[in-house]
C-alpha cells in the first residue's frame, strides 16, 4: 500500500550513507521519512552480497511512498599504504631520516616497505609524503628507482599498513582497481543510479569508468586530490556530477584552503550544469551526540547558501548512534536556510552564461517567468533529464516538477537541486501536455486552483534533446474539482 508523504519543500537534496547503524529496511524507511532524498552505498566496506538486501530495501520505498529512489554506489579507489613493521609500530622523530623502499622485510624506525611502484616512478625531491591521514609528514630528499629517502618534518607513531597520501605529484595510477571494476559491474547490474569514482586526478581517469558503465548509470567524480582541482573544469565536463570530498582534500592540502576550494568547486559545477555534492564531517559530532555543534550547523548552512545540489552524511548516518536524528537535523538546517529571505539572492552568487541553444534560452526564461507572473512551479517533460538539469542550474525560486517516462531518469534526478521527479507515461500532443501538467501539479500538491505554472517540453514529444516549448498555464477551479472527483 502506498503511504502518502508531502513533497519536500526544500530544494537542496540530503544524501545519507548507509552502514551498520542504518542498513535495515526499517531504518532506511525512517531515514527517508526524516528527510533523506538519496542513499549512498559505500563499496569500501562489506562484500557485494551484503549490499543486495540494502539496495532492495531502498527500491522498496518506491512502492511504499510512490516516489523514485536514488542510489549512489561509491567505489573505494586505490588505497596507498606502507608495509609492516617488525614490532608492529615505530616512533618517527622530527628531523630523522626515514627510507621507503621495495624490500618486503618488516621495517623499523629507519625504513619500511612501500609496495607501490607508481610512487617510485613519479616522486621527486622536495615532494611531501603524508602518513596516517596527514598526522605525519615526510619530505623527500633523495630518489632512486627502488628507494625514497625522506626527512621527518612532523613525527609521531606509525604502525602497520597506515595510509599514505602523495599530494604534490600526479601518480601514474588508474582510478579503478580490480576491486573497483568488480564493484562497478555489480552496482550497474543491481541498477544503481550513480557511480562515484574515487582517486580522480585528471579527466582521462573517468574514461574507463564511463566505458564500463555503458550508459546504465550516471558518473560522479570525487574531487579529493589537489591535481583534480587544477583540472577541475575539464573533469566536470567529463562527468555527470561531482562531489567535494573535503576529508581527503583536507589531508592533502592545508585546512584553511578547503573552504575557498569548496566554493570554487561548487561554482564550477553549477556553471557547467553538473550536480554537486558537499560531503565529509558535516555533522561529525552527531556520530556520538544527539545534537551538532553550532559550527557544524553553520558549515551545513554555508553549503546550502552556496547552492550545492546535495549535502551528504557519512559516518553520522552509517555508523553513528543517532542516524535518524542526523538526517532530521540536516533536513531542518536546510529548511531554515531556504526560508531565509536572503537565500534567494545568495544562492545566485554563481554567474551563469547559458550556451547559445534553444534549450538553455528557454530554461533561463522559465526562471524569469516564474517571478514575473508569480508561478507556483515549473513543470518539465523530459526523456534524458537534460532539460531538468538546465532548469535546476538556474536555481528558480519554485519547485521543478519533472515528468519522465523513464524510471532511470526519474531516479538519477534525486541528486538534482529543486526537482520532484515523477515516472509517468509520455504525452503525445500539446493539449495532452497542458492537461497532464495541470493534473500532476495538483496531484503532487505543488499548485492550487488559481495558480499559474510554467511548462517546458520538446516537440515532437518523446525526442531527447528537443526542448523548444515554454508555456504558461493557469489552473482554474473546475479543474481542481474534476481532479478531486477523479
Show which residues are catalytic: 40, 81, 222, 280
**Helix, strand, coil percentages, rounded to 5, for the chain:** 40, 25, 40
Q: Do 444 and 420 contact (CB within 8 A), yes or no?
A: yes
**Under DSSP, is residue 422 helix (H, G, I), strand (E, B) or coil?**
strand
Which among 119, 2, 10 has a CA at the least distance from the CA of 343? 10
Q: Do 218 and 240 contact (CB within 8 A), yes or no?
A: yes
**Distance, CA of 390 to chain centre:** 18
How many Å apart are CA 195 and CA 209, to the nearest integer? Answer: 9
Residue 52 has phi, psi (to 5 degrees) of -60, -50
Indicate the pairing of strand 71-74 with strand 400-404.
Answer: unpaired
Neighbour count for residue 168 (Cβ, 10 Å): 18
How many Å apart are CA 254 and CA 387, to the nearest integer? Answer: 39
Residue 366 has phi, psi (to 5 degrees) of -60, -45
Q: Cell 515528468 sits at which residue?
A: 403
- As given in the structure block, the three cell numbers for residue 152 are 621527518
Q: What is the DSSP string of 236-251?
A: HHHSSEEEEEHHHHHH
How many Å apart are CA 300 and CA 35, to the nearest integer? Answer: 15
- As given in the structure block, the three cell numbers for residue 63 are 512502492
- As given in the structure block, the three cell numbers for residue 41 are 552505498
Quick one: CA torsion of 206, 209, 215, 217, rounded to 10 degrees?
-100
With residue 454 as reference, give the H or E element that holds it.
strand 452-458
Helices 178-189, 205-213: inter-axial angle, 10-degree rounding:
40
Residue 111 has phi, psi (to 5 degrees) of -165, 165
**Under DSSP, is residue 214 helix (H, G, I), strand (E, B) or coil?**
coil
Instruction: Look at phi and psi of residue 429 and say left if phi exceeds 0, alpha if psi is from -120 to 50, else beta.
Output: beta
Alpha carbon separation from 194 to 75, 393, 415 (Å, rounded): 11, 19, 9
Amino acid at each position: 500500500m502506498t503511504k502518502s508523504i508531502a513533497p519536500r519543500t526544500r530544494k537542496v537534496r540530503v544524501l545519507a550513507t548507509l552502514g551498520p547503524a542504518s542498513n535495515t529496511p526499517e531504518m532506511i524507511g525512517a531515514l527517508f521519512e526524516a528527510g533523506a532524498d538519496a542513499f549512498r552505498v559505500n563499496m569500501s566496506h562489506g562484500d557485494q552480497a551484503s549490499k543486495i538486501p540494502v539496495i532492495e530495501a531502498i527500491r522498496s520505498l518506491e512502492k511504499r511512498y510512490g516516489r523514485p529512489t536514488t542510489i549512489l554506489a561509491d567505489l573505494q579507489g586505490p588505497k596507498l599504504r606502507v608495509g609492516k613493521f617488525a614490532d608492529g609500530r615505530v616512533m618517527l622523530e622530527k628531523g630523522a631520516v626515514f627510507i621507503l623502499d621495495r624490500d618486503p622485510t618488516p621495517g623499523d624506525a629507519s625504513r619500511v616497505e612501500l609496495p607501490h611502484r607508481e610512487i617510485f616512478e613519479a616522486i621527486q625531491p622536495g615532494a611531501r609524503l603524508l602518513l596516517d591521514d596527514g598526522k605525519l609528514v615526510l619530505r623527500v630528499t633523495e630518489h632512486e628507482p627502488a628507494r625514497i629517502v625522506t626527512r621527518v618534518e612532523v613525527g609521531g607513531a606509525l604502525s602497520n599498513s597506515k595510509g599514505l597520501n602523495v599530494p604534490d605529484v600526479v601518480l601514474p595510477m588508474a582510478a579503478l582497481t580490480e576491486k573497483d571494476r568488480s564493484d562497478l559491474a555489480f552496482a550497474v547490474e543491481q541498477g544503481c543510479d550513480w557511480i562515484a569514482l574515487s582517486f580522480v586526478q585528471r579527466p582521462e581517469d573517468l574514461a574507463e569508468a564511463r566505458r564500463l558503465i555503458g550508459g546504465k548509470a550516471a558518473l560522479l567524480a570525487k574531487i579529493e586530490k589537489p591535481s583534480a582541482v587544477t583540472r577541475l573544469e575539464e573533469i566536470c565536463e567529463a562527468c555527470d556530477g561531482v562531489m567535494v570530498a573535503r576529508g581527503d582534500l583536507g589531508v592533502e592540502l592545508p585546512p584553511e584552503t578547503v573552504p575557498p576550494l569548496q566554493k570554487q568547486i561548487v561554482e564550477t559545477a553549477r556553471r557547467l550544469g553538473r550536480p554537486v555534492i558537499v560531503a565529509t564531517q558535516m555533522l561529525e559530532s552527531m556520530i556520538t551526540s544527539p545534537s551538532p555543534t553550532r559550527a557544524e550547523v553553520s558549515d551545513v548552512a554555508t553549503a546550502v547558501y552556496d547552492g550545492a545540489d546535495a549535502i551528504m552524511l557519512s559516518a553520522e548516518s552509517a555508523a553513528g548512534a543517532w542516524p535518524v536524528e542526523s538526517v532530521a537535523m540536516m533536513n531542518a538546517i536546510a529548511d531554515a536556510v531556504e526560508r531565509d529571505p536572503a537565500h534567494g539572492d545568495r544562492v545566485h552568487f554563481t554567474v551563469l552564461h547559458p550556451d547559445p541553444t534553444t534549450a538553455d534560452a528557454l530554461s533561463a526564461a522559465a526562471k524569469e517567468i516564474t517571478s514575473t507572473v508569480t508561478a507556483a512551479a515549473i513543470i518539465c517533460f523530459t526523456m534524458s533529464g537534460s532539460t531538468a538539469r538546465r532548469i535546476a542550474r538556474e536555481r528558480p525560486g519554485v519547485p521543478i516538477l519533472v515528468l519522465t517516462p523513464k524510471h532511470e531518469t526519474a531516479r538519477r534526478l534525486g541528486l538534482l537541486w529543486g526537482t520532484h521527479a515523477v515516472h509517468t507515461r509520455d504525452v503525445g500532443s500539446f493539449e495532452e501536455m497542458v492537461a497532464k501538467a495541470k493534473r500532476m501539479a495538483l496531484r503532487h500538491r505543488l499548485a492550487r486552483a488559481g495558480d499559474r505554472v510554467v511548462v517546458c517540453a520538446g516537440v515532437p514529444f518523446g525526442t531527447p534533446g528537443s526542448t523548444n516549448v515554454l508555456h504558461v498555464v493557469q489552473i482554474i477551479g473546475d479543474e481542481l474539482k474534476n481532479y478531486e472527483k477523479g
